[in-house]
């Protein structure tokens, strides 16, 4: 549980959010319990994240998101997006290797460069220069594709920061992940009991 009390389920808007999560996931994630206090913000986040995902290759989006989440030491987001990568795009061992800093060993050059750029964005975009984009350009990505990586990483900075700032912990459901993958992706706060 986070350091913010759960939003009151007696409020109709909150009840609707909780019901949606129970119908979709079977439980109410900690992040929803926090952000239900500001349901407009939660919906705006979902709209923004959806817009970013809509223009980006799904695998690339997840790689960029994971790269940023790892830099931010966000267990919640690393576990969520690492799981998506392991279930839909890569095997668990590859995702664990990325989390352990071995992206160059297990990914093709473009995917490894995506993870690196997302890491740079999350590490502090103010320190970046145009040269930070050169690697992906040299590998054949256009400016729109590079922007997609930056957008995914920057969006993750917002969400991960909010979750960690209020003490939100990754949901207990992440305990069901393969132990090696789970351990590699738990880079900050521990998974809830």
pLDDT at 16 over 90: yes
Residue 191 lies in a domain: no
Looking at the structure, tell me whether residues 180 and 122 fall in a common domain: yes
Answer whether residue 192 is part of any domain.
no
Query: Domain check: are 45 and 132 in the same one?
Result: no
CATH (domain of 92): 1.20.1290.10
Question: In the chain, pLDDT over 90 holds for what percent of residues?
Answer: 99
Do 46 and 70 fall into the same domain? no
Residues 152, 135, single domain; the answer is yes
For the cut 90, the answer to whether the pLDDT of residue 146 exceeds it is: yes
Q: Are residues 113 and 177 in the same domain?
A: yes
Are residues 131 and 41 part of one domain?
Answer: no
Buried b (16+ CB within 10 A) or exposed e, 131-143: ebbebbeeeebee
Q: With CA atoms as reference, report the closest residue to 43 among 77, 65, 13, 12.
A: 13
Is 107 among the domain residues? Answer: yes
- Unique residue bearing structure tokens 């998974």: 191
Q: Clarify whether residues 88 and 172 are in a common domain.
A: yes
Q: Structural domain of residue 33, as residue ranges?
A: 12-51
Is 2 inside a domain boundary?
A: no
State whether 28 and 99 are in the same domain. Answer: no
* pLDDT reported for residue 157: 98
Cβ–Cβ under 8 Å, residues 119 and 68: yes
Cite the DSSP H helix spans in the chain.
12-25, 30-35, 39-54, 58-71, 75-88, 92-99, 103-106, 109-124, 131-138, 143-165, 179-185
| 41 & 121 share domain | no
The answer to whether the beta carbons of residues 66 and 98 sit under 8 Å apart is: yes
CB 160 within 8 A of CB 76: yes
Residue 20 and residue 76 in one domain? no
User: 108, 60 in Cβ contact below 8 A?
Assistant: no
Residue 114, CB-side half-sphere exposure with 13 Å CA sphere = 27
Query: What is the domain count for the chain?
Result: 2
For residue 1, what pLDDT is reported?
79
Q: Which phi-psi region, left, alpha or beta, contains residue 124 (left: φ > 0; alpha: ψ -120 to 50)? A: left
Is position 7 within any domain?
Answer: no
pTM of the model: 0.96
Give domain status of residue 126, yes or no: yes
* Residue 107 to residue 103: CA distance in whole angstroms: 6
Q: Are residues 40 and 82 located together in one domain of the fold?
A: no
pLDDT tens digit string along 42-87? 999 999 999 999 999 999 999 999 999 999 999 999 999 999 999 9
Residue 190 lies in a domain: no
**CB atoms closer than 10 angstroms to residue 105:** 11
Q: For residue 16, what are the contacts with CB-CB under 8 A and spacing of at least 6?
A: none
Q: For residue 90, tell me if it sits in a domain.
A: yes
- 24 and 82 in a single domain? The answer is no
């Amino acid at each position: 549980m986070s350091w913010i009390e759960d939003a009151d389920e007696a409020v109709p808007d909150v009840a609707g959010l909780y019901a949606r999560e129970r119908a979709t996931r079977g439980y109410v994630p900690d992040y929803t319990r926090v952000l239900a206090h500001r349901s407009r913000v939660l919906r705006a986040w979902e709209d923004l994240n959806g817009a970013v995902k809509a223009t980006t290759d799904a695998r690339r989006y997840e790689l960029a998101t994971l790269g940023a989440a790892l830099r931010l030491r966000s267990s919640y987001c690393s576990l969520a997006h690492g799981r998506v990568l392991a279930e839909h795009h890569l095997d668990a061992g590859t995702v664990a290797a990325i989390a352990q800093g071995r992206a160059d060993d297990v990914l093709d050059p473009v995917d490894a460069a995506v993870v690196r750029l997302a890491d740079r964005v999350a590490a502090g975009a103010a320190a970046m220069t145009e040269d930070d984009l050169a690697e992906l350009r040299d590998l054949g990505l256009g400016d729109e594709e590079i922007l997609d990586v930056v957008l995914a990483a920057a969006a993750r900075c917002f969400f991960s920061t909010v979750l960690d700032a209020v003490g939100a912990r990754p949901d207990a459901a992440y305990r069901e992940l393969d132990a090696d993958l789970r351990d590699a992706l738990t880079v900050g706060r521990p998974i809830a009991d």
